[in-house]
Structure 1
């Protein structure tokens, strides 16, 4: 299979072949299957546009004007800035790969800026909400004890849903957890005494429930049949507790909102962005700053007053 066209003595790399190479490179980097699949679909979407609208099929022929016209087209279609920026992120990563492989000298997206996104306030759970949600699972049966431990882990560590589902017993230590995160990276997250208590009770209940016949995979949190939990199952745990606690409907009842809640409560308690970035497993501090921007104005005012330099005189 030829990966290039020869034109006037120069070899041109086909976008389709470069995409295939890039996907393979993502697998070598051990990105998650979900991330790789999203990148592949987004890049193919771009390539289809370039082929059908711009009559461009080669990497070297893509120009910044093609990208900018695409952005304008999506804005006319009333697509949200976050959606457009997500597509740009994928294509920017793709063309950075093409530069690394020396198919081109500079990415056509190098001077293309992201679309300005409106400031989004993400409503999070309050401390009262958290207490009521935990109390909802106060029973002594296996599912109640498990669900309480899951909620405690989500709120106490900021763990992603996928990370929680893949957590294994050997990664749960006495006062911390080793979380296997995105990009095959592992990070250390402390466990509060509250979470430790919930986890000890859960593990003891789990041993009794399965009568010493735990599945060999070693996953910490198991379904009632001993299988690895699904994202839908964890989301249902959060959703049911939120409904029972009568949480305000403006708060999206999801595992990711638990993560946002963790981040914002940590920021309110005065944690620095670098430490929070490490705890949450972010690639860079810019991602963590989004949680700071998502805080409500009244929270910012309260924190500003609390840490006023003149109040220390």
Structure 2
């Protein structure tokens, strides 16, 4: 088996068996490309089934010398391990050469989080005399009010919106579905957007079910959401580095600071592991001190 055939089989495995998104699949395939780049650079004629642990150790040393960051190295090693797991599952190899390869220790950086006042300032900075800002206000209310990923926001469908039950049905990573509550403020501005903007648009075929549309009557792009938020940050003089994901971080942090159960937040965010959700437990010392003073029996 050559590398081209192995990559093709791996791609099908990621798509069909693991149900990964196109972006995730491309990231995994780039990891395998790094192996072939290294083999070419070191003039090694090794196929995927004959690669040894020493080859992978030499690869790690090579990317180290190239100056690859620890986080990127960890991502690469994760991709390589997934590739050899696939080969094992297909019974193409008996032993995994990546088994003893360890990812470098990485320091998990806490994401920037906005305060409630900063969130309100951003949303209130929208000039609602412009029709697109009525839509933008509804979108930001949903982003913050339900903690969605940007891809989940742009793919949100009317058929998955249940205002009577106050829930959204979200299809997240790996095509996994979850139910997420939606707040009154978000529902209020979706209704205003539907009535004042969307119902007057000419909607392009195939886009009828998407909640949020651009001027041409088609689904919004991720880039457009980023630009809307960047423009609002400039307008309000916000110096923090923010993106659509910042609203998701803020949603989770504010819930946990308010006393929400970690498992409930995990479910709403669609995290597979609770360790991913635990990053949002970075409560400041003043908040912890106040909590102890308020609730501890000795205080």
**TM-score under structure 2 normalisation?**
0.89
Residue aligning to 2:113: 124
Does 2:272 match 1:283? yes
Deviation at 1:33, TM superposition (A): 1.4
User: 1: distance between equivalents of 2:113 and 2:40?
Assistant: 43
Deviations 1:46-87 (A, max 9, x none): 233135427252233223332233223322332211111111
In structure 1, the partner of 2:261 is 272
Aligned residue for 1:132, secondary structure, equals: helix
Secondary structure, counterpart of 2:49 in structure 1: helix
1:24 and 2:8 correspond = no
Structure 2 residue aligned with 1:9: none
**Cα–Cα, structure 1 residues 181 and 46, in superposed 2: closer, same or farther, change >3 Å?**
same
- Deviation track 1:220-259 (CA, whole Å, cap 9, x = no partner) reads 1000121111111111111111112211x2x222112222
Gaps of 5+ in 2: none
Aligned equivalent of 1:190: 181
SS at match of 2:162: coil
Query: Quick one: distance in 2 between partners of 1:54 and 1:61?
Result: 15
Deviates more, 1:180-189 or 1:50-59: 50-59
Q: Note if 1:98 corresponds to 2:82.
A: no
TM-score, normalisation: structure 1: 0.85
- Tell me how large the CA RMSD over aligned residues is: 2.1
**Is the 8 Å Cα contact of residues 16 and 47 (structure 1) preserved in structure 2?**
no
- Between stretches 108-117 and 92-101, larger displacement belongs to 108-117
Report what 2:154 is aligned to.
Answer: 165
Match of 1:8 in 2: none
Does residue 179 (structure 1) correspond to residue 170 (structure 2)? The answer is yes
Aligned partners of 2:250, 2:294: CA distance in 1, in Å? Answer: 30
Q: Would you say how many aligned residue pairs link Structure 1 and Structure 2? A: 292
Q: CA deviation at 1:90?
A: 1.2
- d(CA) in 1 for partners of 2:45 and 2:264? 45
Change over 3 Å in CA distance of 1:34–1:300 after alignment to 2: same
Matches of 1:54 and 1:157, distance apart in 2: 52
Alpha-carbon deviation of 1:169? 0.8
1:155 aligns with 2:139: no
- Whether the 8 Å contact between 1:138 and 1:148 is mirrored in structure 2 is no
Distance in 2, matches of 1:156 and 1:135, equals 15
- Give 1:305 deviation, angstroms: 2.3
